A and B are shown apart, each in its own frame.
Chain A
Amino acid sequence: MRLFWISAVIAGAGTLLAGGGGTAPGQGPFAEKAALEAHAAAVQAFARAQGFLTAKPTDPAAVRPRALRPEPSPEGIVELPSPFPAHEYLLQPTGWQQGTGSRRLTVYPGALGTERDRGVLLVVTTTADERDVESYPAPFRNGALQLVAATGDVLTLRDETGRTLSFDVSARRFMP
């Protein structure tokens, strides 16, 4: 089956490859790339042919899956992806989080994307209707901040020189 698709590609599926206008070497990753696209098109065409004989549900609510019981987000020191591009904020994969009712407070340590020697903490408040981002630059230009420990909502951080400092999340300020 796979050979069939690759043969079809070599026979002239260059337009599939680069959205029109690409040149397709007849072997290696580019043949496989075009074969993947041809495979996707074939799966779609087969299902579309079936689809003409099948009516969709008339009541979307009737086929909606049952809602899961809401789970609280993890708290304390947690692994966090970065919802900011690296050229804005270069954030560490470990941050801190606290939930209160439907409100979630997340602290991301890292550095400014444009000034790597300037550490920063981002404090993000998330509710059902709101996302608020506050930025707290480190008091010294000693590189990215890393989270070391948390006691209550006082965070212990370390910069790239090894210097430790604390941040009081409630007060939103660095402490000596």
Chain B
Amino acid sequence: MSARRLVPILVAALALASSAHAAPLHSISRYVANADPSRWYDLGCALGNAVTAGTRPKDALVILAFGDPAASGGSYGAHLFDGSFRTTAQLRAVAQQYGYGYWVCSPYDSELQIVLGTTNHGTHVGYAHGAAWARMVNATNDYFAANCCIAGQVSALGGIDAELDWNAPAVTIPWANGYDSANAWSYIEFGDAAGCPPVGSCNGGWTYADIWSIAWGIAPALPLPQIYNERGTQAAQWENIDLWGIASKGIKMGFRGSLAQHQACVDRSDPCPGTGNTADQGWTQLRDALNSRASTALTPRWSTDISWRN
């Protein structure tokens, strides 16, 4: 092959290599069914040890998915995945001990963001719950700051798994506004964009403007979407929402990472046909979709996979 023919091939290969970062090591997020803080101390410590061993990332984000918004006896909280109601104070104890266990067992140069996640599923989604959730996140970070020196490595963020089929924007967006009314820390939106183009039209009466708002337009919102679909459909949906935001609002979305459910499928011996992306596959799909255009180009920071075990 002549040198003249090799040059364009080399240039193309170099361009590909420069944009094709390998997927980062991923963390394990969890559907919380156990509210014993000592168990979460152990899981945090185990993560810290895994970071030391090099099997989990030094820069990690973990979602503690606490379940649906709930209220009982004048207290806000969540219905965990074992069906129990836990107050925000009890949930905060879980997150605090997870962070503390991590701090005790991890190397100094590592970092963890703990997402205290809820959903837009159920009948208690709303403004007041969002505000209570923000106060819980604030208090968790106050604990990390007050107990030297957890805050040097660990911080807490809010979180919502906003799925278009679970509740309408008229119910869900007030939760985010409530969070925004009381927060000192951001929240991660780890939901879906079900039905949206290129599939069809967005489900549940949601518009691009609604999805863009809850995932990015509302001040504390940071997107880290579910990228479960093995054919890349969800990555393409979020790329489209990003393009809409650029065209309509003049700003691109700052995707922070991707969420997979591969571990949850393994945990329940479910092949999850079509939706079993590994964390690496999900992250790579999102990265590739965003980098398909210069206007949306971005390398997401985190990759996480959710598990039923705790």
B150 and A47 contacting across the interface, CB-CB below 8 Å:
yes
How many residues belonging to A are interface residues under a CB distance threshold of 8 Å? 61
Whole-angstrom distance between the Cβ of A22 and the nearest chain B Cβ: 5
Q: Is B217 an interface position by the 8 A CB rule?
A: yes
Which of A19, A48, A68 has the most chain B CB atoms inside 10 A of its CB?
A19
A63 and B254 contacting across the interface, CB-CB below 8 Å:
no
How many residues belonging to B are interface residues under a CB distance threshold of 8 Å? 83
Q: A60-B101, A81-B119, A85-B226 are in contact. Are A90 and B36 (CB under 8 A)?
A: no
In angstroms, Cα B79 to Cα A51, docked, is 36
A51 and B149 contacting across the interface, CB-CB below 8 Å:
yes
Q: Is A70 an interface position by the 8 A CB rule?
A: yes
A18 and B149 contacting across the interface, CB-CB below 8 Å:
no
**In the complex, chain B residues whose CB is within 8 Å of the CB of A11:** none
Q: Is B68 an interface position by the 8 A CB rule?
A: yes
Q: A36-B185, A74-B83 are in contact. Are A60 and B264 (CB under 8 A)?
A: no
**In the complex, chain A residues whose CB is within 8 Å of the CB of B166:** 82, 86
Q: What are 20 A-B residue pairs whose CB atoms fall within 8 Å in the complex? A: A18-B254, A21-B252, A29-B218, A33-B186, A36-B184, A36-B185, A44-B111, A44-B152, A54-B148, A65-B41, A73-B82, A73-B83, A79-B79, A79-B85, A80-B79, A81-B80, A82-B166, A93-B121, A132-B269, A133-B270
**In the complex, chain B residues whose CB is within 8 Å of the CB of A83:** 31, 81, 264, 308
**In the complex, chain A residues whose CB is within 8 Å of the CB of B203:** 86
Closest to A66 in B: B38
Closest to B108 in A: A51
In angstroms, Cα B297 to Cα A126, docked, is 42
Which of B218, B268, B269 has the most chain A CB atoms inside 10 A of its CB?
B268
Query: Which stretch (B2-10, B20-28, B278-286, B298-306) binds chain A?
Result: B298-306
In angstroms, Cα B150 to Cα A115, docked, is 47
A48 and B149 contacting across the interface, CB-CB below 8 Å:
yes
Interface string of A79-122 (1 = CB under 8 A from B): 11111011110100101010000001010000001000000000
In angstroms, Cα B33 to Cα A97, docked, is 13
**In the complex, chain B residues whose CB is within 8 Å of the CB of A131:** 267-269, 308
**In the complex, chain B residues whose CB is within 8 Å of the CB of A151:** none
Main secondary structure of the interface of B (DSSP, over half): loop
A44 and B151 contacting across the interface, CB-CB below 8 Å:
yes
**In the complex, chain A residues whose CB is within 8 Å of the CB of B228:** 85
Whole-angstrom distance between the Cβ of B113 and the nearest chain A Cβ: 9
A36 and B220 contacting across the interface, CB-CB below 8 Å:
yes
B68 and A18 contacting across the interface, CB-CB below 8 Å:
no
Closest to A82 in B: B121
Closest to A129 in B: B309
A32 and B219 contacting across the interface, CB-CB below 8 Å:
yes
Closest to A113 in B: B165
Q: A79-B68, A106-B83 are in contact. Are A87 and B264 (CB under 8 A)?
A: no
Interface residue from A17, A32, A46, A57 paired with B104 (Cβ < 8 Å): A57
**In the complex, chain B residues whose CB is within 8 Å of the CB of A24:** 251
**In the complex, chain B residues whose CB is within 8 Å of the CB of A51:** 108, 148-149, 152-153
**In the complex, chain A residues whose CB is within 8 Å of the CB of B85:** 79
B250 and A23 contacting across the interface, CB-CB below 8 Å:
yes
Q: Is B145 an interface position by the 8 A CB rule?
A: yes
Closest to B44 in A: A60
Closest to B272 in A: A88
B79 and A81 contacting across the interface, CB-CB below 8 Å:
yes
**In the complex, chain A residues whose CB is within 8 Å of the CB of B152:** 44, 47-51
**In the complex, chain B residues whose CB is within 8 Å of the CB of A162:** none
B150 and A81 contacting across the interface, CB-CB below 8 Å:
no
A43 and B251 contacting across the interface, CB-CB below 8 Å:
no
Closest to B106 in A: A56
**In the complex, chain A residues whose CB is within 8 Å of the CB of B194:** 86-87
In angstroms, Cα B217 to Cα A51, docked, is 35
Whole-angstrom distance between the Cβ of A51 and the nearest chain B Cβ: 3
Whole-angstrom distance between the Cβ of B304 and the nearest chain A Cβ: 15
Could you tell me which residues of chain B, from 86 to 145, have a CB within 8 Å of some CB in chain A?
97, 100-101, 103-105, 108, 111, 119, 121-123, 141, 144-145
Closest to A18 in B: B254
